Amino acid sequence: MPFSWMPRVIAGEREGPKDFPQLKNDTFLRAARGEEIEHVPVWCMRQAGRYLPEFRESRAGKDFFETCQSPEACCELTLQPLRRFPFDAAIIFSDILVVPQAMGMDVQMVAGKGPTFPEPLKEPEDLQRLQVKVDTAKELGYVFRAITLTRHKIEGKVPLIGFSGAPWTLMSYMIEGGGSNTHSKAKRWLYQHPEASHMLLKMLTDVIVEYLLGQVAAGAQALQVFESHAGILGPAEFKEFSLPYLRDIARRVKDKLKEAGQDVPMIVFAKDAHYALEELSQSNYEVVGLDWTIDPLSARERTGGKVSLQGNMDPCALYAPKERISDIVKKMLEGFGTRGYIANLGHGVYPDMTPENIGAFVEAVHQHSKQMIKQI
């Protein structure tokens, strides 16, 4: 007997669960597929975050991962930015580190320090501590419930994006035990224990595939895979320890969705991996997310029209006066062009940014792109 929150996905049914409110603004989904749009869609990584007073109020005095485990809290935090700004997509409030937790690791969010693993992986023997076969419905069901609830509460306003961390980024957290400048503990594994590294990356890939499929079954309408620590790898290490797993994830998720007659756009965001742009554009993802170190025109040239692009304004440009933000957005749109493009920042919004300037960013994308499209 399925739980009441479980979506009824019938094989062959294209749109997925039937009882969700109808989608009113599908601009983001059309742009992801390179289809015609009336304006360039825009959303921001970390759009649900501490820069919003209402977010700080909701989160006050509560443990971060307990918040992640509450579908009601995740739903509310996901919807908050949509009440202020006409974003064209929402991303479910959660965290990439719920996956190592599901595999049996303890992770805490320490104020002023960030995510912390009290007992990180030190040597290959430590892999035995990890849960290999993870029952994602049991361990991560709270994320699926948050997605389903949010799909109802969002009332079809915009599509809801699900996400996961990519294997290398999660591996580096699991070994470093938290943030790091050099990632030398995790990189030591790549050079000293390549076999154990591949074993761990494979284990993570298997869980991530199930996790992303569970998110789609719960109602996610697009998926983003965050390889936030790609930049710490060089081209050769990226090709060996990141790219094959990114490809495998997209291939396996897409194959399974196809069987169910579903088609959900996937975005890969490998931060600082400008050296791998060509490979990323041929890695089974519809959209490649870009950080701000890549020039829009050259990104277009190097990806050769094979994929849609997402990004890439320097988040710090949000510190500029509004008129300057508008000029920067205009140049960015001219560089990328309006087709097959989703406007975003090159990384997440920072806590000290003013909501007003995020509003100016969103408005500038909509205004300039509408004018550009009219002139075509």
Ligand X SMILES: Cc1c2[nH]c(c1CCC(=O)O)Cc1[nH]c(c(CCC(=O)O)c1C)Cc1[nH]c(c(CCC(=O)O)c1C)Cc1[nH]c(c(C)c1CCC(=O)O)C2
Q: Which two tokens stand for residue 279?
A: 């490979």
Q: Which is nearer to ligand X, 9 or 207 (CB)?
A: 207
Strand pairing report for 108-110 and 160-165: unpaired
Q: Which of 93, 117, 189, 341 binds ligand X (CB under 6 A)?
A: 93
Query: 212 - beta bridge partners?
Result: none
CB of 323 to ligand X, least distance (A): 27
What is the C-alpha to C-alpha distance for residues 341 and 45, in angstroms, rounded to an integer? 15
CB neighbours (10 Å) of residue 252?
18
The residue behind tokens 């007997």 is 1
CB of 10 to ligand X, least distance (A): 30
Q: Which of 53, 104, 114, 305 binds ligand X (CB under 6 A)?
A: 114
CB of 169 to ligand X, least distance (A): 6
142 is a contact residue toward ligand X (CB under 6 A): no
| Phi-psi region at 67: left, alpha or beta (left = phi > 0; alpha = psi -120 to 50) | alpha
Q: Which of 311, 322, 299 is nearest to 346 (CA)?
A: 311
| Positions 255 through 314 that interact with ligand X (CB under 6 A) | none
Cα angle value 46/15/211 (rounded, 5°): 50
- Residue 146 and residue 92 in contact, taking contact as beta carbons nearer than 8 Å: yes
- Catalytic residue status for 173: yes
327 is a contact residue toward ligand X (CB under 6 A): no
- Catalytic residue status for 95: yes
Task: Write down the catalytic residue from 26, 126, 151, 173.
Answer: 173
| Positions 232 through 261 that interact with ligand X (CB under 6 A) | none
CB of 90 to ligand X, least distance (A): 8
- Residue 117 and residue 173 in contact, taking contact as beta carbons nearer than 8 Å: yes
Residue 113 carries which side chain, given as an amino acid letter?
A: K
Query: 163 - beta bridge partners?
Result: 224
Task: Write down the catalytic residue from 50, 84, 300, 339.
Answer: 50
- Catalytic residue status for 50: yes
Residue nearest to ligand X (CB): 228
Strands (DSSP E) found in the chain: 90-91, 108-110, 114-116, 160-165, 222-227, 266-270, 287-289, 308-313, 341-345
156 is a contact residue toward ligand X (CB under 6 A): no
Q: Which of 150, 155, 168 is nearest to 204 (CA)?
A: 168
Q: Which of 75, 97, 253, 299 binds ligand X (CB under 6 A)?
A: 97
CA-to-CA dists, residue 371 to 68, 216, 337, 364, angstroms: 40, 35, 12, 11
CB of 340 to ligand X, least distance (A): 22
- Residue 245 and residue 168 in contact, taking contact as beta carbons nearer than 8 Å: yes
- Catalytic residue status for 126: no
CB neighbours (10 Å) of residue 1?
4
318 is a contact residue toward ligand X (CB under 6 A): no
48 is a contact residue toward ligand X (CB under 6 A): yes
Query: 312 - beta bridge partners?
Result: 344
Task: Write down the catalytic residue from 30, 46, 151, 252.
Answer: 46
CB of 285 to ligand X, least distance (A): 16
49 is a contact residue toward ligand X (CB under 6 A): yes
Q: Which of 136, 205, 228, 357 binds ligand X (CB under 6 A)?
A: 228
Annotate 4-56 with DSSP letters as a single string: TTS--PPTT-TT--TTSPPPS--HHHHHHTT---SS--B--TT-SSTTSHHHH
Query: 345 - beta bridge partners?
Result: 313
Q: Which of 23, 89, 96, 360 binds ligand X (CB under 6 A)?
A: 96
CB of 110 to ligand X, least distance (A): 8
Q: Which stretch binds ligand X (CB under 6 A): 41-49, 195-203, 235-243, 336-344?
A: 41-49
214 is a contact residue toward ligand X (CB under 6 A): no
Q: Which stretch binds ligand X (CB under 6 A): 107-115, 119-127, 189-197, 210-218?
A: 107-115
Q: Which of 332, 350, 354, 349 is nearest to 341 (CA)?
A: 332
What character string, x for contact with ligand X (CB under 6 A) and - otherwise, covers 52-91?
-------x----x--------------------------x
Task: Write down the catalytic residue from 95, 126, 263, 295.
Answer: 95
Q: Which residues of the chain form contacts with ligand X (CB under 6 A)?
A: 45-50, 59, 64, 91, 93-97, 109, 114-115, 163, 226, 228, 348
Please list the active-site residues: 46, 50, 59, 95, 173
